[in-house]
Amino acid sequence: MSKKFLSGNEAFAEGIRLARPQVISAYPITPQTIVVERLSEMVEDGSLSAEYIHVESEHSALSCAIGASAAGARAFTATSSQGLLYMAECLYYAAGGRFPIVMMNADRSTALPWNIYGDQRDSLSQLDSGWIQSYAENAQEALDLALMSYKIAEDKRVQTPYMANLDGFVLTHTYETVDIPTHEQADSFLPPYETDNRIDFDNPKNMAFSAGPDTNYIFKYKEHKGLLAAAEVINETEKEFAEIFGRQYTGLTENYRTDDADYIIVTLGSIAGLCRETADKLRDRGVKAGVVRIRYMRPFPNKEISDVLKNVKAYAVLEKDISFGNEGTVFTNVNSALKKAGIEVKEYNFIGGLGGRNISAGDIENIYTSIARGTGSVNFIGIGGEDNGK
């Protein structure tokens, strides 16, 4: 194992190199571009043996990956923002075909106004497409998820495509020291891809066909069950990962100082670190603050969320997303988990970071103060006036 000073994008590319994809379909879009650039360099210098295909659009990038996966190859692509929306049609084909493609999405605001900075509206808009969705906090986790993603997606109980999300610029373009496993370690963890869900001229089968209402219904049920099965496979994969690489992850969620917390912020992605620092400061003042980081939005951690929030006085969901005309998408999912468990807790939603707008430590401290005092149900950070919170 070696150490390198890498951006989140570069760390993810290193993880993909270790996973040995056989086909990479590339179409650059800010802030994802560095991932496919680095992978092209790896193919060029021989450190990665793969078919690197330049395509003409994001739609083509995922279409190409679907074709490669249908041929039995381990496939990778990457995108961001409008690129993800452009390939949205193909997301459903990949999931319905049970093709375990891995795709990195650099979370970025969507138009209009045109904006290249990071929020999470792009990926959260596609939660219903049938893909596993993870959200990394730092470059080391990005690299590790790149490697673990294939093992999770390709498991026969799952057979589902995987979208690994990295916060645009805040994570994709910031640098930190990252541990790089050896190929020998990676190969002992992730074996070559083998599947029966492929084109086989010696054993022909019908793939990507049309289906009437009765049959289609069963296919969708099985697709749903595959995504649910991913929860157990994630835990198994992370346990094996810890045994080989020495880094332990915590499944669908990560809890911080939650055992006795009165007030908890639930969030996802890179902002979790600042939330933890703020919780520590408030603890020093006698405020029992805690943080829950959602690592996976699909499959959604219903039990984990309800278990950790059932005894708090109040919680807030902090997210870089808004479902216009209603509330934040993460907030909807978290509330649903509690309602299904029969838990009644004061809940608040804070929207921030849209279009890359900064969320400060002061903003986070204000969230804890606000939920302790009671505030409107949906609140936009930094927006004053009596209309906010309604």
Backbone φ and ψ for 186, nearest 5 degrees, come out as: -65, -40
Same domain, 230 and 293: no
Same domain, 276 and 223: no
**Residue positions counted in the chain:** 390
Last residue of one domain, picked from the residues 228, 245, 262: 245
Q: Residue 219, CB half-sphere, CA atoms under 13 Å: how many?
A: 17
Same domain, 6 and 155: yes
| Residue given tokens 């003409």 in the structure block | 56
**How sure is the predictor about 385, in pLDDT bands with cuts at 50, 70 and 90?**
low
Q: How far apart are CA 119 and CA 318, in angstroms?
A: 12
Same domain, 143 and 269: no
Residue 389 counted as domain residue: no
Same domain, 189 and 323: no
**Farthest CA pair distance, the chain:** 70
Lowest model confidence (mean pLDDT) among 132-141, 148-157, 203-212: 203-212
Q: How far apart are CA 260 and CA 252, in angstroms?
A: 21
Residue 63 counted as domain residue: yes
Q: How far apart are CA 331 and CA 321, in angstroms?
A: 10
3-state secondary structure of 104: strand
Same domain, 52 and 68: yes
One-letter amino acid of 247: R
Q: b/e string for 285-309 if b means 16 or more Cβ within 10 A?
A: eebbbbbbbbbbbbbbbbebbbbbb
Last residue of one domain, picked from the residues 245, 272, 291: 245
The sign one gets for the Cα dihedral 80, 332, 290, 338 is negative
DSSP annotation of 323: B
Sequence-distant (6+) residues with CB within 8 A of 303 are 337, 341
Same domain, 94 and 158: yes
Residue 98 counted as domain residue: yes
- 378-380/346-351 β-pairing: parallel
- Per the structure, the complete domain to which residue 268 belongs is given by 253-380
Same domain, 83 and 224: yes
- In this prediction, residue 143 carries a pLDDT of 98
Last residue of one domain, picked from the residues 245, 264, 294: 245
Residue 31 counted as domain residue: yes
Same domain, 165 and 294: no
Number of domains in the chain: 2
Same domain, 261 and 174: no
Q: How far apart are CA 13 and CA 104, in angstroms?
A: 10
| Domain of residue 30, CATH code | 3.40.50.970
Give the pLDDT confidence of 306-359 residue by residue, as tens digits.
999 999 999 999 999 999 999 999 999 999 999 999 999 999 999 999 999 999
Same domain, 87 and 20: yes
| pTM greater than the 0.95 cutoff | yes
Same domain, 234 and 257: no
* Statement: residue 1 has pLDDT above 90: no
The share of the chain scoring above pLDDT 70, in percent, equals 98
Q: How far apart are CA 72 and CA 300, in angstroms?
A: 29
| Domain of residue 354, CATH code | 3.40.50.920
Residue 390 counted as domain residue: no
- In this prediction, residue 82 carries a pLDDT of 98
Residue 387 counted as domain residue: no
Residue 386 counted as domain residue: no
Average pLDDT across the chain, whole number: 96
Give the pLDDT confidence of 198-238 residue by residue, as tens digits.
999 998 988 888 999 999 999 999 999 999 999 999 999 99
> What token pair was written down for 175?
């640098």
